Structure 1
Amino acid sequence: MIKPRRSPWPYPGDTPLDRARRVATTYRAALTQLDPERAAAIDREMTRLGEPWVAPQPLVFDLDAPHRPRDLAELLGGGLTPELVRQWRARGHIPDRRDDAGRPVNTPRDVLDYQAEQRRRRADRHSA
C-alpha cells in the first residue's frame, strides 16, 4: 500500500505536542466564530479539567524580572516545570542567576530565548 504524501508542516520547529496544540487552537478559533457560547463552555470545562492552555489567557509581565523556578513555570506554563528550569540552568542552557539571598532565579526572557533557540534548531534539522 502506498502512503499518501503529506503536505509539509508550515512550522518545521514544532514538536508533536506543538502540532497538536496548533490543530486544537485552529478548531477552537473556528468554533468560537460559529458558536461563541459553546466555545466558552468548553474552555471552562477544559480549564476545570486542568488544561487551561485551550483558552487564550493574555498575560502582562516583565520579561526581565527575576523569578524562582516554580514561579516561572506557573507564569509561562506550556509544560514548563520547575525541574526543567533547574535542569536547563545546570546544563548551562540558561544563565545561572541568583537573587540577593543566593537562591536561583531566572527571567522569563532567559526561558523564552532558550525555547526559541530549541525551536530554531529543530527547524534547521528538519530542513537539512
Structure 2
Amino acid sequence: MADDGVRKELPPAESSTGLPKDDNNRIRHPAPAWNSLATAAFALGVCSLINLYICAAGFFGNAKARDVIPFLLLEMGLGPATLVVGILGLRYARRRSGGAGRGYAIFAVVVGGLACLFFLGLLLLWIWLILNPQHW
C-alpha cells in the first residue's frame, strides 16, 4: 500500500477495562477510583466479616472460648475501624468525589456497626463463660 501522506483519524480510545471515555474525556471506572477511603472501608468490612465468622464458628463450634480470644481482640479493632473509615468515606463521597464510592462506604458503615454490636454480644458471652467455668 502506498502512503499518500494523509493521516487517518482513529476511533476514541478505550480504557484497559474496555469502558469508553465519558464526555469530559475521563475514563469511566467500575470501582470508586477517586474515593480511596471508601475502598479501604470496604476492604476492612470484608475482613471484619471474615473475622466475625471465625469468632462465631469458634464460639458455637467445637473450639473452646479461650481459643477465640485472638480473633476477638482483632475484631475489637476491626469493627470500629470499619465504622470510622466508612463514615469518613461517606463524608468524602458527599463533599469531594461527586458520590463516587458511596455504596462501598455505606456497606462499610453497616458492616462496621453490625460488627461492633456482634463484638459486644460475643464479649458478653465470653465474660459469662469465664464466670461460669462449667460451660467450658
TM-score normalised by structure 2 residue count: 0.28
Determine which structure has the larger helix proportion and give its number.
Answer: 2
Larger radius of gyration: 2
